[in-house]
Structure 1
Amino acid sequence: MPDPVAPLALFAIVSTITPGGATTLATASGARFGFRRSVPLMAGIAVGLASLAAAAAIGLAGLLLAVPSLRTAMNLAGSAYLLWLAWRIARSGSPNLQAELAAPTRFWSGMCLLWLNPKGWAMALGAAASFAALASGPLQLAILLGSALGFAAAASMSLWCLAGLMLSRLLRTERQWRCLNALLGLLLAASIIPMWIT
């Protein structure tokens, strides 16, 4: 008999490793600041997704479905935040330049990235609906989903951050850094599009 948690594990891995705003930010942070200095951001993303999944399992997300204006406000706030991050990334040069941009994104910013992102809510709601049968109640489902998605996010953000770190070792000129940062900024800005068309 197959393990009933295997589909949840597969869902968690696939949904967290596919490109999006969080993965782009982890890649940019790895390229600019290295792995160690990017840990707070990655931890914030993982905790943000875990807590979001737990909230969806408990039923807090029902509020978003019941109050459409709250979802619109969340879309606006999330879009503004992601555009601000994209602008910061796109404007930055090589890691040794621009002291005002020399601080990596913090834990709370990574967490907010998930809580303000309707794509994250859609993923958490989908997981809660799809895997509700794996738990005997909302609290057990919250623990199961939070753990699965949190651990998967931590692993996938680490991989994306390491990819950024490897990219940084290939870049030698200021122009190469500007091209990479512009591309990552555009990708992060483009990650907003799905939240407005779903």
Structure 2
Amino acid sequence: MLEITLALIVFLFPLAYSPGPGNMVFAANGARFGLRATLPANVGYHIATWVVTAGIGLGFVAALDMAPRLFAVLKIAGALYVLWLAFGLIRAGTLTSAPAPRPASFTDGAVLLILNPKAYVIIALMFTQFLGPADPLPVILLITTVFTLNNLLAFLTWTVVGDRLARRFRSPASARILNLTFGAILAGVAIWMLLA
């Protein structure tokens, strides 16, 4: 079990810490609201991660293979959701009459994972590399838990980076620039999700 865990962490490190939809959403929320305010969304995202990962490990991949349109729908829905989050950040950076922005909620975090096709691809790829056909349920649960905890650490890292960055941009003009920058990055991620 230790050997699988170490190999899995090495395999997942570049995937979890590279910029992707989830990381960018949490970096942006960390910049806008701080680490503490993003914790409910982080919990929502990672509970959903654990459930979806366990489901894929238990055979959800076969269901996606039988319904390839489901993956296409998730891809489009996920990109539109990230684009909606980006628009919220951009509005917060430019419109003084915009409603007061709020940090992402537990539900926002869960929805972000469920509509993130990159997560499904990574999870399926991970199981093809680390799960054998005869592996018992405890191995599936170990892989699921290691994957979820590794992601949680990556997201917390990105959130802290966003939070620290925001501390350097305290003036309203600087905050607008930061919101516009993160909003544009999220919009770029959404477009990449649609085209990938």
Q: TM-score, normalised by structure 2?
A: 0.88
1:1-198 equivalences in 2 (<5 Å)? 3-93=3-93, 100-133=99-132, 136-137=135-136, 139-198=137-196
**Aligned equivalents of 2:97 and 2:103: distance in 1?**
13
The percent identity for this pair of structures is 28
User: Could you tell me how far 1:55 is from its partner in structure 2?
Assistant: 1.4
Structure 1 range deviating more: 186-195 or 35-44: 186-195
User: Could you tell me how far 1:194 is from its partner in structure 2?
Assistant: 4.3
On the 8 A contact 2:4/2:130 being kept in 1, the answer is no
- Equivalent pairs, count: 194
RMSD of equivalent CA atoms = 2.3
Gap runs ≥5 in structure 2:
none
User: Could you tell me how far 1:126 is from its partner in structure 2?
Assistant: 0.4
Q: 1:129 to 1:179 in 2, by over 3 A?
A: same
Structure 1 range deviating more: 124-133 or 42-51: 42-51
On the 8 A contact 1:20/1:188 being kept in 2, the answer is no
Residue type at the aligned position of 2:183: G
Structure 1 range deviating more: 81-90 or 2-11: 2-11
User: Could you tell me how far 1:100 is from its partner in structure 2?
Assistant: 2.8
Gap runs ≥5 in structure 1:
none
Residue type at the aligned position of 1:155: L
User: Could you tell me how far 1:117 is from its partner in structure 2?
Assistant: 1.1
On the 8 A contact 1:45/1:113 being kept in 2, the answer is yes
Q: TM-score, normalised by structure 1?
A: 0.87
On the 8 A contact 1:50/1:147 being kept in 2, the answer is yes
On the 8 A contact 1:4/1:134 being kept in 2, the answer is no
On the 8 A contact 2:75/2:117 being kept in 1, the answer is yes
